[in-house]
Chains A and B, each alone.
Chain A
């Protein structure tokens, strides 16, 4: 076998750091030491694109301006459930400046009678029905207002509780029938719930299915907590809305996209328009945020392309904020029943979970797997149901399901600790087997000064202080289909290319760091060209996979390119290239200290204009074969929250969050802190503010804006302190992983636990509002 053995750092510095021997493929680069001994990796390196962003030089998709470009606007439904009988576009068509109208129609296969009608059935307010391309956005909007859609209205249901009732209006004409439509079907818990709009239950996952015997588990329990928790619908609010600019000329369909996944958009557009993938180019240089809902070309991609096809001109189609709220995804709500049993000594004996959630007309409203894997418990079962409603579709949202699940689980664990007369942190030390979270609890408690915590509701005065904790786990995924090309040019320039996109988290910078560290150069010496599907395929930015997927091939390709360059120098110096190294921009020799050559000088030895090396993500070290391109590990986090609750007004202020996280080998402390800050702020917003409000009588969202859809402003953002725990697992050439999802999972739970500690009354529903606080305190009915 073409392998070699090497010893890798293993464990947590300052806690249990040791070494582990791995047998790795012969072509892999030598092991990196821990970060303390590296020059660029793990340091607080400034983003390479920071200046461009600050001075406005960075061009986002909505900034794209092309010669002859037209502006497009969607026609959307304004009723929640209807059959469209006709659409009159005559007035819009004749408006000056309108170039094309494209209506979404049901496709009819050759020889088949189209039983589905000419137009799709409307199932929610905001559903796209068509689009207009015009010389300006204003004209396009005016033209949309001139279109007359005639509806044959149908009964509808918006509210999740109503949708579950027998006799509720049916969202899809064919009611859900349990056994046929229920995914990985388990047993229904309640005969009245498994029909109509209710689909499921889902009982198993990547982590397996039910385990043990719940009945026995609860019989063994001395203490039981049994509660129902509710979370709200949380819509996507990235600063940059969804959208594209499509320039479809005779050779290539060029798509400028605000996307988390250039590769997926390319593949979708190629499939939809029956083009070879090589004829579709997706480009995303700068991206204004995405939290799970930007992995697709959506409806806007095909609409822009159809309008480009009809007009022969580039089409700009960016959604406005209202459209973003209505149709571009949301974190589904949840109603979670949770029953947890434990022995007197705290040992968990049983966890039972049952959830219902609605992702509107779509699926995926489960509550994740955190209850299944965070704590050791021999007896576990979950049943997770989707409830279909006439509302906009859900989408992946930063740790899909797990944020909802953590809100319930981490409150229940706190309640259990209280029943057992144990400190919540001490109790987690007992039932949580994760070594990294143990370190996180210890270090976080010290920074946060957990010892200040007083018994629940014991504070004096109107404003009561409370401290709480919540934890999370996130699987360590990687995508094997992650590749880069590294080029060393003969003018001394170094370039890295990949289709992977930087959604604002700093992927460009960490790639530059990895290449610079390996080549003994500075970050400024590296040019990063990514976000272009004409480059080697990169992973989508979701599931916190990017860092763990793309940095090992980046290092490996750089290592190969370095070896090729050093061979040229070795030939000139008449020595062995294995004796050579690059440090501080100079090539040197381990044998002869007098031998020196600048990196740029070495590139002059090249007989061709460049050295080019491509590498893809390989399997994890240590023989960990990954099913379906996945790896598995535990990215732990512990977050501490301090709140002040005004018991007269019900106002809750989150004063401070201490967020302690692990992500393998940290690559850039500043960027990690930034991403954790973002996750925490979203968590605060989820716990206290954001909430989609629907009018059950009309099916309209009542706060589809940035005014009444409340997000925190600067004074509502707490002091945030982060701690990143280095943890080496010796699984790849960089041993680094992402932080996107973990940063967001535990915050709402920690805040809810802190609110309970403050007022002594537990709230089982978010958002926690002044009204809900006053109600919990019995001050309003």
Chain B
């Protein structure tokens, strides 16, 4: 069992993900990437697996640079 925490990645605050180990809310702590193959992801603004830009929702995609990205610090939708 590895205990190495992955590097911080800023993930859109509206991403949610769940794998066998638990749930993740968007932000800076992407530990769920440790089991990418068993992680389901959804965007809470578009309420599904497709983002507001019609693209795939995933921790690797929902990062800065995507048109619908909202940072953890943003306080408005």
A interface vs B, CB < 8 Å? Answer: 104, 106-107, 109, 112, 116, 120-121, 123, 127-128, 172-174, 176, 181-184, 200-202, 204-209, 261, 264, 267-268, 271-274, 292, 295-299, 301-303, 329, 355, 359-369, 384-386, 388, 393-396, 399-402, 475, 477, 479, 540, 542-543, 545, 627-630, 632, 741
Contact residue among A272, A385, A543 (Cβ-Cβ distance under 8 Å from B21): A543
A164 CB, min distance to chain B CBs, angstroms: 16
Given A116-B54, A272-B44, A184–B33 Cβ distance below 8 Å?
yes
| Contact residues in B for A360 (Cβ distance below 8 Å) | 49
Identify A628's interface contact among B31, B46, B61, CB under 8 A.
B31
A298 to B68, CA, bound (A): 19
Contacts A116-B54, A363-B40, A368-B20; is A206 near B48 (CB within 8 Å)?
Answer: no
Q: In the assembled complex, how far is the CB of residue A209 from the closest CB belonging to chain B, in whole angstroms?
A: 8
Cα A630 to Cα B49 with chains together (Å)? 26
Q: Decide: A271 and B14 in contact? CB cutoff 8 A.
A: yes
Bound Cα distance A329, B18 (Å): 13
Which residue of chain B lies nearest to A366 when distances are taken between CB atoms in the complex?
A: B37
B21/A362 in contact, CB under 8 A: no
A104 to B52, CA, bound (A): 10
Neighbour of A181 across the interface among B60, B76, B77, CB < 8 A: B60
Tell me if B50 counts as interface (CB < 8 A to partner A).
yes
Residues of B within 8 A of A384 (CB): 37
Residues from chain A with Cβ under 8 Å of B5 in the complex: 627-628
Main secondary structure of the interface of A (DSSP, over half): loop
CB pair A475 B21 closer than 8 Å: yes
| Residue of A172, A181, A182, A200 with most chain B CB atoms under a 10 A cut-off | A172
**Are A364 and B22 in touch, CB under 8 angstroms?**
no
* A-side contacts of B49, CB under 8 Å: 359-363, 393
Q: B75 to chain A: which residues have CB within 8 Å? A: 274
Is A628 within 8 A of B29, CB to CB? Answer: yes
Cross-chain contact A172 with B55 (CB below 8 angstroms): yes
A693-B50 Cα distance, complex, nearest whole Å: 23
Which residues on the A side are within 8 Å of B19 (C-beta)? 364, 396, 400
- Extra pairs beyond A362-B49, A363-B41 (5, CB < 8 Å): A208-B1, A264-B23, A267-B25, A368-B38, A393-B48
B3 on interface, CB distance cutoff 8 Å: yes
- Pairwise interchain contact B35-A369, C-beta atoms closer than 8 A: yes
Q: How far is the CA of A208 from the CA of B1 in the complex (A)?
A: 6
In the complex, what distance in Å separates the CA atom of A295 from the CA atom of B76? 24
**Residues in B9-62 with C-beta less than 8 Å from chain A:** 13-14, 16, 18-23, 25, 29, 31, 33-42, 44-50, 52-58, 60-61
Taking the closest CB of chain B, its distance from the CB of A387, in whole angstroms, is: 12
Tell me if B40 and A393 are in contact (CB < 8 A).
Answer: yes
Which residue in chain A gives the minimum CB-CB distance to B53? A116
Do B50 and A268 touch (CB < 8 A)? no
Q: How far, in angstroms, from A779 to B5 measured CA to CA in the complex?
A: 55
A413 to chain B, nearest CB (A): 21
With known contacts A120-B54, A363-B56, A393-B49, A477–B42 Cβ distance under 8 A: no
Q: Chain A nearest CB: distance from B74 CB in Å?
A: 10
- Looking at B41, B47, B58, which has the most chain A CB atoms within 10 Å of its CB? B47
- Chain A positions within 8 Å of B35 at CB level: 202, 205-206, 366, 369
Give the distance to chain B from A51, nearest Cβ to Cβ, in Å: 33
**Chain A residues with CB below 8 A from B16, complex form:** 264, 268, 296
Docked complex Cα distance between A176 and B58 (Å) = 12
User: Which chain B residue has the least Cβ–Cβ distance from A209?
Assistant: B2
Q: Which of B14, B53, B60, B76 contacts A183 (CB 8 A)?
A: B60
Q: Given A120-B54, A184-B33, A202-B35, are A271 and B44 also a contact pair (CB < 8 Å)?
A: yes
Decide: A479 and B22 in contact? CB cutoff 8 A.
Answer: yes
Contacts of A292 in B (CB 8 A): 18
Point out the residues of chain A lying under 8 angstroms from B47, CB to CB: 104, 128, 297-299, 301-303
The residue of chain B having its C-beta at the shortest distance from the C-beta of A357 within the complex is: B37
A183 to B60, CA, bound (A): 6
B42/A296 in contact, CB under 8 A:
yes
Q: Which one, A112, A209, A394, contacts B67 given CB within 8 A?
A: A112
Alpha-carbon distance between A583 and B61 when the two chains are bound, in angstroms: 58
Q: Assuming A181-B60, A183-B33, A202-B35, is B21 touching A630 (CB within 8 A)? A: yes
Complex contact B22–A542 (CB within 8 A): yes
B-side contacts of A204, CB under 8 Å: 2, 34
A100: min CB distance to chain B, Å: 18
Q: Is the CB of A272 within 8 A of B34?
A: no
Q: List, sorted by A's number, 27 A–B pairs whose CB atoms are closer than 8 Å.
A: A104-B47, A106-B54, A120-B52, A128-B47, A173-B54, A183-B33, A184-B34, A201-B37, A205-B34, A206-B1, A261-B23, A274-B76, A295-B18, A296-B16, A299-B48, A361-B48, A363-B36, A363-B40, A363-B49, A369-B38, A393-B49, A477-B22, A542-B18, A542-B23, A627-B3, A628-B29, A630-B22
Cα distance A296–B49 when bound, in Å? 12
B13 interface neighbour in A181, A271, A363, A402, Cβ under 8 Å: A271
The one of A298, A401, A477 in contact with B37, judged by C-beta atoms closer than 8 angstroms, is A401
Cβ-closest 7 pairs across A and B: A366-B37, A183-B36, A202-B37, A362-B49, A384-B37, A299-B47, A364-B40
Separation in Å of the B11 CB from the closest CB of chain A? 13
Task: List chain B residues, Cβ under 8 A from A366.
Answer: 35-38
A175 CB → nearest B CB, Å = 11
| Cβ contacts under 8 Å, A205 to chain B | 34-35, 37-38
B68: A residues at CB distance < 8 A: 107
Give B4's nearest chain A residue, CB to CB: A627
Residues A388 and B56 in contact in the complex (CB < 8 Å), given A264-B23, A296-B16: yes
B30 CB to closest chain A CB, in angstroms? 10
B48 touches A386 (CB 8 A): no
* Nearest CB on A from B16, distance (A): 6
Is the pair B46, A120 in contact by a Cβ cutoff of 8 Å?
Answer: yes
Which of A106, A182, A475 has most chain B Cβ within 10 Å? A106
CA separation between A649 and B16, bound complex, in Å?
A: 47
